[in-house]
Amino acid sequence: LREIENTMGRYVYAIQMKQEDTILHELWSRFEDDICYGTNDGWYTGRKAVGNYYKARYEDTQKRSQLIQQLFPEYLGDKTQEKLHGVGAMQVDAISPPCLEISGYGTTAKGVWLFNSTIHEILANGPYTIQENGYYAVDFTKEGTNWRIWHMQRIVETRAPQEVNWADSWQLPEP
């Protein structure tokens, strides 16, 4: 069970550290053709679609980092793209202890983690923090001695800016 928990821990760490370019190869199944990732916004089905999702996240992080560099040239002007990657934004998914179930053959497993997420962004009008609560539902497959992600859903149940009541109606502030 600890190996499955470690895989999930490495996943949320990679998201926090903006390592989207390594997630597919390092953590997802290499042999299952029907991998998929689901969010409140839709599904990414198949290796190419899941890979494109993480590639888009990585490219978005690069663009945002370059914009932050332009906003703060006195602090970031001489940074290389590698050192600049991920500056200014952070997503922390604090995950709960899981509910895990391993198949009778010991080759597949499923787990559910609750999460409390804090997403920090720098928008045109300044810093902004969003709080999310939800769950990860994940199927794993054992490949050799490693547990790898096969199917994953990240479902957000509540989402609101940190400074407002989550039950109120709200919109992003105007820049």
The pLDDT, as a whole number, for residue 172 is 63
The pLDDT, as a whole number, for residue 126 is 76
Cα 75 to Cα 77: distance, rounded to the nearest angstrom: 6
What are 18-47's pLDDT values in tens digits?
999 999 999 999 999 899 999 999 999 999
Considering only residues 57 and 165, tell me which one the structure prediction assigns the higher pLDDT.
57
Which residue, 113, 122, 134, 119, is CA-closest to 11? Answer: 113
| Residue 113, phi then psi, degrees to nearest 5 | -125, 130
Average pLDDT across the chain, whole number: 91
What are 67-110's pLDDT values in tens digits?
888 888 998 989 988 888 888 888 999 999 999 999 999 999 99
Q: What is the C-alpha radius of gyration for the chain, rounded to an integer number of angstroms?
A: 18
Cα 138 to Cα 154: distance, rounded to the nearest angstrom: 9
